[in-house]
Amino acid sequence: MRASGVFRVVIVLVTLAATWALVRTYFDTYLKSKSLRDILEFPRKKSITTKTPKTKCRIERICPENYYAFRITSGAANVVGPSMCFEDKTIMSSVKNNIGRGLNIALLNATTGELIKTDFFDMYSGDVNILLRFLESIKHGTLVMLASFDDPATKMNDKVRKIFHEMGSRSAEIGRA
C-alpha cells in the first residue's frame, strides 16, 4: 500500500473519531440536540412551565375527594375490544384477556372500590338466561360497569332491559326491539 492510501485511511479514522466526539459532546443520552444558544452558552430567558397533573384512568379532569375515577371504552364493532379502568387500574381489556363478544360486565364494591367479579355474555349466539341469572344475583350497593363489544342487543329481551333500567341505565329502553 502506498503512502497516499495510508494517509486516506488515517484521515477517515480521524474524521470518524472527531464526528463521534462532537456527537457525544453536543447530544445527551436521549439524542436530544442542543440549540445554538446552548452550544455558544448564551443566557436564556427562564420559561414558565406548567406541569399538567396526572389524572387517574387518563380522564380529562381530576376527581373530587370521595369520588371514584373510571373510564369505560366500548369496543369498535367486532375488531377492537372494550376496556375498563377503575381508580387507575385496568380491570377489563383485551390485554388482560378477560373480554368477549357482547356485554362485558365488571362488578365492584361501592364502598371500598374492590373488584368483585368480571364476566362477559355473548349476546349474538349465547343464552340470555345466563345473563339474567347473573344480573339477578347482583346485590344492592354494587357498582356495575358495562361495555359492549359487537352488537349487545341481539338477544336482549324486556326482562334484561328492565333490570338495566332499574340499575340506572338510560340507554336500555324497555319495549325496544
Q: If pLDDT is split at 50, 70 and 90, which confidence band does 118 have? A: very high
pLDDT surpassing 90 at residue 43: no
Q: What is the pTM of this model?
A: 0.65
- pLDDT score at 56: 87
Query: pLDDT band at residue 44, thresholds of 50, 70 and 90?
Result: low
**Per-residue pLDDT reduced to its tens digit, 86-110:** 999 999 998 898 998 889 999 999 9
Query: What pLDDT, in 10s, does the model give residues 47-56?
Result: 666 666 778 8
Burial level of 145, CB count in 10 A (0-12/13-18/19+)? Answer: buried
> CA gyration radius for the chain?
29
pLDDT of residue 36: 66
How confident is the model at residue 154, as a pLDDT? 79
Concatenating the DSSP letter of every residue in the chain gives --HHHHHHHHHHHHHHHHHHHHHHHHB-TT-PBPPHHHHHT---PPPP--PPPP-GGG-SSPPPTT---EEEE--BTTTBPPEEEETTEEEE-TTTT---SEEEEEEEETTT--EEEEEEE-TTTS-HHHHHHHHHTPPTTEEEEEEEES-S-SS--HHHHHHHHHHT-SSS-TT--
